[in-house]
């Protein structure tokens, strides 16, 4: 190659074997790649790293560096590192000779590039980091065979398990730990083929409590949950292999006068009683298997039951059932209901009511909006429900009548007045839709899903904080209710206890 200067044109020319060169081709020998590390679920970029000499001669790809190897693992916060994991097929990966030898099969993440197209302006690469399922540890403390306290801690991979400070244990002066019953079960959502693995007994108890806690035989109320978890992660950091892992730990205390044999024969369960006002539920009835007990009939304001108690049988399977039915009678005003505002409308009005044969004269009649025909049922909630009558296109409060708490009513029309929806439950007697809930009459059995604790709500769609249903438990329902402003679908499993449609399976 030679450079030639032309005095006439004052230009330089490049010659190759005396021939002028008009085009120069560059070949990539080596170069750097800038890698952007981005969370796939949020799009947030958390780090950039220039990979030196990524484009080596004759290569068509380069290996992306892991953030852990760059000492940046703390940035991951619940995401898998820059590795290749076939998450969709983890459940099918197994070594026939060692079927329990599982892992996430991490492979180096490789980025391909076209040597003919790469240049300094487009040597940019993006790595999208997958969100990982968190790990969960649940502690269940039992006293005399019944749950005493629960505690749960959830943590993302590449974070630390938070310190637990509100552990609750029975009083050691009146209850002793039975370490022969200490038990744990573990499951892995990414590896369902592993099923559930368990460990139990005194040896297991000593492993997680005695050894780690320097020979302390019993848990203490200060930080003992974290101390137990140190057996699984000494520095409390959640490694990636804990992703999607769920572990339950159970410890059992027994009172000095506790008898397991007697406890096993004693049953506490809810009793469902059929009535003309729907299924009534009496909570926490207790007795011994094989016995017959008297159960008090629930009292409903504004109504009187035809009996005070029913006989219920305590069955060997732990259920308590009765074949008796209860009929509730509406308390008329002259009988007195013990309430200042008893309900006085009929519980099931004529679905096609006729107009009042002797209406009061109206000197200034005004047209009313036209209602729509709609047959259905509504239930009242924890408060008395006001009634309205439609006059001159407006709703006027009825001052001497209300609907009782937790009562059921048919309606046959609906109307919208001033932006509010009303249901007609008797002749020109309307309720504001916001003060009741709609339901359809249907009965059956539902089963909770594989979830340790399924929440319940009351008829006003508020969470019931002190009650819940266990995993894979079956419950009888007597109606499908539509609760809350969005009328979400629920099953009623007790008088004022509802379970969300998506939380159960219909049997």
Question: Residue 51 above 90 pLDDT?
Answer: yes
pTM of the predicted protein model = 0.51
Q: What per-residue confidence (pLDDT) applies to 239?
A: 87
From the CA atom positions of the chain, what is the Rg in Å?
A: 36
Is the pLDDT higher at 357 or at 407? Answer: 407
* C-alpha closest to that of 135 among 100, 73, 186, 83: 186
What the block records as the tokens of 141 is 């403390």
- DSSP-assigned beta bridge partners for residue 183: 200, 250
Q: Given this model, what pLDDT does residue 338 score?
A: 38
- Under the banding of pLDDT at 50, 70 and 90, the label for residue 321 is very high
Measured in whole angstroms, the distance separating CA 192 from the mean position of its chain's CA atoms is 20
Dist CA 235 CA 156 (whole Å): 15
Rounded to a whole number of angstroms, the distance between the first and last alpha carbons of the chain is 86
Q: With bands split at pLDDT 50, 70 and 90, how would you rate the model's confidence at 303?
A: confident
Convert the pLDDT of each residue in 432-452 to its tens digit: 999 999 999 988 899 998 887
Q: What is the DSSP letter of 411?
A: E
Using alpha carbons, select from 119, 54, 89 the residue that is nearest to residue 192.
89
Question: Residues 314-335: what's their mean pLDDT?
Answer: 83
Summarize the confidence of residues 338-357 as an average pLDDT: 38
Q: What percent of the chain has pLDDT over 70?
A: 88
Q: What is the pLDDT of residues 407-418, one digit of tens each?
A: 999 999 999 999
The mean pLDDT of 295-306, rounded to a whole number, is: 87
What is residue 20's predicted lDDT score, i.e. its pLDDT?
82
Helices marked H in 282-337: none
pLDDT band at 477 (very low <50, low <70, confident <90, very high): very high
What is the per-residue pLDDT for 333? Answer: 53
- Mean pLDDT of the 168-184 span: 89
């Amino acid at each position: 190659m030679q450079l030639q200067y032309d005095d006439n044109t004052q230009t330089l020319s490049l010659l190759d074997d005396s021939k002028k060169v008009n085009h120069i081709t560059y070949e990539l020998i080596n170069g750097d790649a800038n890698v952007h590390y981005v969370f796939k679920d949020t799009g947030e970029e958390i780090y950039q790293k220039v990979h030196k000499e990524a484009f080596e001669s004759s290569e068509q790809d380069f290996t992306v560096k892991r953030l852990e190897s760059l000492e940046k693992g703390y940035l991951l916060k619940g995401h898998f590192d820059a590795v290749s994991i076939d998450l969709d097929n983890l459940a099918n990966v197994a070594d026939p000779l060692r079927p329990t030898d599982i892992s996430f099969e991490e492979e180096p993440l490789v980025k391909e590039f076209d040597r003919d197209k790469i240049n300094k302006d487009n040597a940019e690469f993006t790595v999208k980091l997958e969100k990982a399922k968190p790990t969960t540890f649940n502690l269940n403390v039992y006293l005399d065979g019944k749950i005493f306290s629960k505690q749960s801690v959830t943590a993302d991979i590449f974070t630390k398990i938070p310190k637990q400070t509100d552990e609750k244990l029975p009083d050691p002066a009146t209850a002793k730990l039975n370490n022969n019953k200490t038990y744990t079960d573990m499951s892995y959502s990414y590896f369902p083929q592993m099923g559930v693995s368990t460990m139990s007994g005194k040896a297991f108890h000593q492993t997680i409590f005695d050894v780690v806690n320097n020979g302390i035989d019993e848990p203490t109320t200060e930080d003992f949950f974290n101390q137990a978890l140190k057996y699984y992660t000494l520095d409390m950091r959640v490694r990636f292999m804990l992703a999607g892992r769920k572990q339950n730990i159970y410890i059992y205390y027994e009172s000095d006068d506790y008898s397991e044999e007697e406890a096993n024969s004693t049953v506490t369960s809810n009793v469902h009683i059929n009535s003309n006002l729907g299924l009534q539920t009496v909570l926490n009835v207790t007795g011994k298997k094989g016995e017959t007990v008297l159960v008090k009939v629930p009292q409903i304001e504004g109504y009187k039951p035809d009996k005070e108690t029913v006989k219920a049988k305590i069955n060997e399977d732990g259920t308590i059932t009765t074949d008796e039915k209860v009929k509730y009678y509406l308390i008329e005003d002259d009988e007195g209901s013990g309430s200042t505002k008893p309900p006085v409308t009929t519980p099931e009005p004529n679905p096609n009511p006729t107009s009042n044969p002797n209406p009061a004269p109206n000197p200034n009649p005004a047209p009313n909006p036209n209602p729509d025909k709609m047959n259905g049922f509504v239930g009242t909630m924890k408060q008395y429900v006001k009634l309205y009558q439609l006059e001159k296109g407006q709703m006027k409060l009825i001052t001497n009548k209300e609907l009782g708490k937790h009562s059921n009513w048919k309606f046959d029309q609906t109307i919208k007045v001033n932006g509010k929806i009303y249901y007609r439950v008797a002749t020109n007697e309307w309720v504001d839709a916001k003060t009741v809930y709609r339901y359809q009459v249907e009965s059956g059995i539902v089963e909770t899903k594989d979830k340790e604790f399924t929440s319940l709500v009351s008829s006003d769609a508020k969470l019931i904080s002190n009650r819940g249903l266990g995993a894979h438990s079956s419950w009888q329902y007597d109606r499908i209710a539509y609760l809350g402003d969005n009328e979400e679908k629920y099953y009623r499993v007790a008088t004022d206890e509802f379970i969300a449609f998506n939380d159960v399976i219909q049997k």
